[in-house]
């Protein structure tokens, strides 16, 4: 992929809907860590039990599955805007959040924010910002697809109303229309490279050229839709080809996401520099990533110094 | 059921002193003030969130208790043996004990919610703390649930080095635990009071299981015969223990001899006499059931 031996973080990707082939390709392309924000599942959940199992999966099995391919998996815990409109589900999910938000590998409350900008969305947005404030946690904001500019500004207003420090809030899915406001107000400004909808990587190159690299990072938000889990390394390659320096590419595709999320105390560089060796003979609750008598891959070599250096 | 309700206050004080000698000032201050807040009745989220966050503050080092600390543990709760615990297990137990004096139904609701949404590390800490919790007679279903898992580390948190199962599980649940340990290939020797809880029904289940394994041309753990010995009748001696005695592995032969020496029947006594020099040698070399279990575990690695 991009440049040999470069490391990447995809700080927003829904691995629960991806295959093991994706994990292999991501590892191959240099992705060392991912963050899986809690989100909906393409169809609405009908009860809070489904939410409990989903949270358990993203802090449990999915972490294990990623580890089996040499990728460190983190997640965020939250009630998303779409499902905030089901009041009964929302109420019960709010009760679940404190039980998951401080678990190992949980880096933020998120992704939360607006979809239709309804009163119920606003109610649970408020409640979750308040929870983040009292639990002293980072927040990941999902900005809406429709009415994005107003939704983004309103989201930041709400954060400030709750006394959150912008340096502890990541505003995601930005575009050319929102970037200035978000940067100016001191928030982490994330962009999603998602085919056909959020951001294409040629546009991303132009944004980095125009706005620089401070507090800017990218992700794929790859999910169950037609999306690309290699969004980050592919964009890194394009940036290099279009004359952006390696140092700047490292910031946008690795370092800034790390700097933002390591504030949680749940994510640190050692997690992947000193990660356990891949051992696919292991199981999680008796379940393995292998099927049909496949030979387990067991990593033997010490990772070489070249693997960790980004020039 | 035995009266082994612990003095929660005394256990908390001891845990705090163990943590004091292992944590830096900042971590100690966090755990102590969190525990105090919970004792004073903090909002629910404080318990859930701090219970999960313990390793971020304490790290996950092994406890490696001193001899004196180990003795103190046994004094506080018969059979309590936390020397294999990690420091975050201890911290989580402290926080759980800090809400343990709440009203029974309130405590149980919080405990059950924590169990249901636990990750592996949290599950291990919770199951290990079972013998210290209040209302132990009401925790048997929870213990049995822990034994139903396929996650070996969780199963072991209930079954191994834990006095709760021997003290509180009924025979059916106990027997399932021992049989399941063999199924999931986890050793029997760390199960506390395994010999005093042996029973006829368990012996029959174990023999049936051995037959199933043999029919499929599979080996059985030599530890299986530990709970069979005292209930080995003429038929078991003749059909099974004699066969194990002829096994090519020395460990299996030794297991058969130990089981035979526990059997009350005449044919077993005769076999013991025939092999008395071997048994003497085993005694001299401290070859007992625990040795066999440990050796088999090591050989299987």
Q: What are B151-179's pLDDT values in tens digits? A: 889 999 999 999 999 999 999 999 999 99
User: A285 CB near a chain B CB, below 8 Å?
Assistant: yes
- Residues in chain B with CB shorter than 8 Å from the CB of A102 are 48-53, 56
Q: Verify whether the Cβ–Cβ distance B116 to A96 is below 8 Å.
A: no
CB contact under 8 A, B49 and A286: no
Counting one residue from A and one from B, how many pairs have CB atoms under 8 Å apart? 51
Mean pLDDT value across chain B: 95
Residue among B49, B120, B149 whose CB faces A101 most closely: B49
Cα–chain center distance at B236: 28
Output the six-digit token pair for B143: 């213990």
CB contact under 8 A, A104 and B121: yes
pLDDT value of position A310: 56
pLDDT at A303: 58
Q: Tell me which residue of B10, B17, B45, B41 sits closest to B31, measured CA to CA.
A: B17
- For residue A99, give the chain B residue with the closest CA: B48
**What is the reported pLDDT for A290?**
81
Q: Which long-range contacts (CB under 8 A, 24 or more apart) does B147-153 make?
A: B147/B173, B147/B176, B147/B177, B147/B180, B149/A285, B150/A285, B150/A286, B150/A287, B150/B184, B151/A284, B151/A285, B151/A286, B151/B120, B151/B123, B152/B184, B152/B186, B153/B120, B153/B124
**Residue A36: both structure tokens together:** 């899986």
Q: Which residues in chain A have their CB less than 8 angstroms from residue B149's CB?
A: 285
Q: Which of A223, A162, A213 is nearest to A183 (CA)?
A: A213
> What are the chain A neighbours of B53 within 8 Å (beta carbons)?
102
pLDDT on residue A87: 94
pLDDT over 80 at B4, yes or no: no
User: Which residues lie closer than 8 Å to A36 by C-beta, 6 or more apart?
Assistant: A13, A14, A15, A16, A58, A62, A73, A74, A75, A76
Q: What is the pLDDT of residue B1?
A: 47
In this complex, which of A100, A284, A285 lies closest to B117 when CB atoms are compared?
A: A100
Look at B55 and A131 and tell me if their CB atoms are within 8 Å: no
**In whole angstroms, what is the distance from residue A107 CA to residue A271 CA?**
13
Task: Report how far residue A88's alpha carbon sits from residue B300's, in angstroms, rounded to the nearest whole number.
Answer: 52
Q: Is A266 on the interface with B (CB under 8 A)?
A: yes
pLDDT tens, position by position, A83-96: 999 999 999 999 99
Q: Is A55 on the interface with B (CB under 8 A)?
A: yes
The stretches in chain A having pLDDT less than 70 are 1-4, 301-311
Does B79 reach chain A within 8 Å, measured CB to CB?
no
Contacts of A100 in chain B (CB under 8 A): 52, 117
pLDDT digits over A285-308, tens only?
Answer: 777 888 777 888 888 766 566 665
Q: Which residue of B has its CA nearest to A287?
A: B150
pLDDT the model gives residue A282? 83
B148 part of contact set with chain A, CB < 8 Å = no
B9 touches chain A (CB under 8 A): no
Nearest residue of chain B to residue A267 (CA atoms)? B56
Please give the pLDDT value at position B90.
98
Q: Is the CB of B53 inside 8 Å of chain A's CB atoms?
A: yes
**Cβ–Cβ below 8 Å for A52 and B116:** yes
B150 touches chain A (CB under 8 A): yes
Alpha helices in B40-191 (DSSP H): 44-58, 67-76, 87-98, 104-116, 120-128, 140-148, 152-159, 164-168, 171-183
| Residue A241 contacts B, CB cutoff 8 Å | no
* Residue A164: per-residue pLDDT: 97
Closest CA to A126 of A161, A152, A101, A153: A161
pLDDT of A3: 58
Q: Do A284 and B151 touch (CB under 8 A)?
A: yes
How large a percentage of chain B has pLDDT more than 70? 99
Average pLDDT over residues B228-236: 96
Task: Residue A55: name the closest of B122, B48, B118 by CA.
Answer: B118
Q: Which residues of A touch B112 (CB under 8 A)?
A: none
Q: What is the pLDDT of residue A296?
A: 85
> How far is residue B158's CA from residue B173's CA, in Å, rounded to a whole number?
12
* A211 Cβ contact list (under 8 Å, min separation 6): A179, A180, A183
Instruction: Give the minimum alpha-carbon distance from B76 to chain A in angstroms, rounded to a whole number.
Output: 30
Residue B188 has pLDDT above 90, yes or no: yes
Closest CA relative to residue A161, chosen from A129, A184, A194? A129
Q: What is the mean pLDDT of residues B98-115?
A: 96
Q: A70 to chain B nearest CA, in Å?
A: 20
């Amino acid at each position: 992929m991009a440049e040999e031996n470069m490391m990447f973080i995809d700080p927003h990707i829904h691995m629960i809907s991806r295959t093991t082939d994706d994990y292999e390709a991501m590892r191959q392309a240099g992705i060392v860590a991912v963050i899986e924000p809690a989100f909906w599942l393409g169809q609405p959940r009908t009860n809070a039990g489904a939410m409990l199992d989903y949270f358990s999966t993203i802090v449990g099995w999915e972490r294990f599955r990623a580890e089996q391919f040499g990728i460190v998996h983190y997640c965020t815990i939250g009630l998303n805007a779409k499902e905030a409109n089901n009041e009964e589900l929302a109420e019960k999910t709010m009760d679940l959040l404190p039980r998951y938000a401080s678990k190992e590998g949980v880096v933020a409350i998120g992704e939360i924010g607006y979809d239709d900008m309804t009163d119920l969305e606003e109610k649970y947005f408020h409640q979750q910002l308040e929870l983040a404030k009292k639990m002293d946690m980072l927040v990941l904001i999902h900005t809406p697809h429709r009415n994005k500019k107003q939704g983004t500004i309103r989201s930041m207003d709400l954060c400030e109303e709750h006394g959150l420090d912008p340096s502890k809030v990541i505003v995601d899915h930005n575009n050319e229309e929102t970037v200035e406001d978000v940067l100016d107000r001191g928030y982490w400004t994330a962009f999603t490279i998602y085919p056909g909808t959020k951001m294409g990587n040629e546009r991303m190159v132009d944004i980095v050229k125009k706005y620089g690299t401070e507090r800017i990072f990218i992700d794929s938000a790859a999910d169950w839709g037609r999306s690309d889990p290699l969004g980050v390394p592919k964009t890194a390659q394009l940036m290099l080809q279009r004359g952006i320096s390696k140092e700047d590419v490292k910031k946008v595709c690795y370092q800034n996401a790390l700097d933002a999320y390591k504030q949680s105390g749940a994510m640190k560089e050692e997690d992947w520099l000193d990660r356990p060796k891949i051992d696919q003979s292991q199981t999680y609750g008796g379940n393995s990533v292998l099927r049909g008598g496949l030979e387990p891959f067991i990593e033997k070599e010490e990772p070489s110094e070249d693997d960790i250096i980004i020039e | 059921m035995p009266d082994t309700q612990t003095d929660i206050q005394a256990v908390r004080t001891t845990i705090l002193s163990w943590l004091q000698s292992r944590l830096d000032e900042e971590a100690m201050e966090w755990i102590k003030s969190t525990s105090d807040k919970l004792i004073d009745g903090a909002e629910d989220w404080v318990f859930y969130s701090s219970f999960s966050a313990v390793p971020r503050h304490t790290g996950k080092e092994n406890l490696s208790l001193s001899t004196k600390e180990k003795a103190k543990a046994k004094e506080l709760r018969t059979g309590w043996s936390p020397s294999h615990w990690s420091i975050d297990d201890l911290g989580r137990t402290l926080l759980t004990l800090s809400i343990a004096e709440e009203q029974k139904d309130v405590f149980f609701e919080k405990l059950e919610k924590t169990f249901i949404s636990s990750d592996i590390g949290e599950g291990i800490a919770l199951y290990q703390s079972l013998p210290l919790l209040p209302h132990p007679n009401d925790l048997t279903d929870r213990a049995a649930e822990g034994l139903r898992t396929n996650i070996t580390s969780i199963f072991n948190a209930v079954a191994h080095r834990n006095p709760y199962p021997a003290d509180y599980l009924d025979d059916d649940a106990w027997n399932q635990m021992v049989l399941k340990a063999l199924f999931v290939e986890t050793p029997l020797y760390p199960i506390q009071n395994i010999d005093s809880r042996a029973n006829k029904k368990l012996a029959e289940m174990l023999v049936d299981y051995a037959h199933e394994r043999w029919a499929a041309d599979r080996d059985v753990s030599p530890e299986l015969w530990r709970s069979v010995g005292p209930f080995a009748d003429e038929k078991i001696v003749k059909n099974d223990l004699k066969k194990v005695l002829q096994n090519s592995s020395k460990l299996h032969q030794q297991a058969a001899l130990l089981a035979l020496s526990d059997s009350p029947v005449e044919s077993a006594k005769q076999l013991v006499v025939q092999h008395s020099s071997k048994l003497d040698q085993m005694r001299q070399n401290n070859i007992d059931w625990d040795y066999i279990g440990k050796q088999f575990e090591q050989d299987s690695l």
